[in-house]
Homo-oligomer: A and B are copies of this chain.
């Protein structure tokens, strides 16, 4: 099979042996695969995938058709449309996924949306629902709302019944994020005084942390899942105690299979009906053929986009 391959930091297309499904696994003929921040980190050697995953083939999510099943598979059959979260290897013509982590692609949802759905929406749902316990009526602030996880989080927050505010780094991104249901502050606005917030989803990192604590409501929760702008920041523990606040760090990728399966079940229950009905949408900035993966990474790394960059995979044979 052909696959995106990282070679000394360059993005190339190469050949790999076709993977073979083990017990509980399904082999997917990939139709589309989204790019994510972790791919970029992995390319630079900063975020190695878990043991057992080819460190040179990126791809944390994909959608496609079941091409083969391993022993004991019960949830899916040959030809089913599936999508899901991977530890790596999704940006290839064939990918393995455990059936417990895979989800059905709802009728009417196209490959490009499906290929860009699992990582961002599972991350957003896990962070807001499972990690932060976001409840209906609560006030949610999403920092860095224009990216893949941000646009998913704004929508998931609204679906969970929260009142959603958002910050973006570029003024140009405001209308698109507002159209997803958020009150979007202008870049440079004093978001601390726009609070208090019950939940703050931190996708930017250290520069926001001190203000995040001051912007928390009593019993509020900060969930940090992105630190692109910096990792280390001072925290005033007195402020945190006074608000009985929580700072939680989270990442999906390193979790064991059973936790990823739980996260997928949560997404199936809470989000797939809304994806099918069109209430949730996957903002796709650009679709790039697999053969032009290097260009997709350039587009992804250039920033200034709203939503996903997705690779369209057309099998050669």
Task: Report A's interface with B, CB cutoff 8 A.
Answer: 202, 205-206, 209, 224-225, 227, 231-251, 254-255
Contact = CB atoms under 8 A, between A and B. Distances in A.
Contact of A224 (B234, B241, B251): B241
A233 to B, nearest CB: 6
Contacts of A254: 242, 244
A245 B248 contact: yes
Nearest to A230: B237
Contacts of A232: 234-238
Given A224-B241, A241-B225, A236 B231 contact: yes
Contacts of A241: 224-225, 227, 249-251
A155 to B, nearest CB: 23
The A contact surface, by secondary structure, is mixed
- Among A227, A233, A241, A255, residue most surrounded by chain B Cβ atoms (within 10 Å): A241
Nearest to A210: B232
Given A205-B237, A231-B237, A237-B224, A246 B247 contact: yes
A226 to B, nearest CB: 9
Contacts of A231: 236-239
Given A231-B237, A231-B238, 18 more contacts: A202-B237, A205-B237, A209-B235, A209-B237, A224-B237, A224-B240, A224-B241, A227-B237, A231-B236, A232-B234, A232-B236, A238-B249, A240-B249, A242-B254, A244-B251, A245-B249, A246-B246, A247-B247
A148 to B, nearest CB: 17
Contacts of A235: 209, 232-235, 247
Contacts of A250: 241, 244
Nearest to A254: B242
Given A227-B238, A238-B227, A243 B249 contact: yes
A69 to B, nearest CB: 32
18 contacts: A202-B237, A209-B237, A227-B237, A227-B238, A231-B236, A231-B238, A232-B234, A232-B238, A233-B234, A234-B234, A240-B247, A240-B248, A241-B251, A244-B248, A244-B250, A244-B254, A244-B255, A245-B248
Contacts of A239: 231, 249
A173 to B, nearest CB: 23
A225 B249 CA distance: 20
A232 B242 CA distance: 14
A234 B234 CA distance: 4
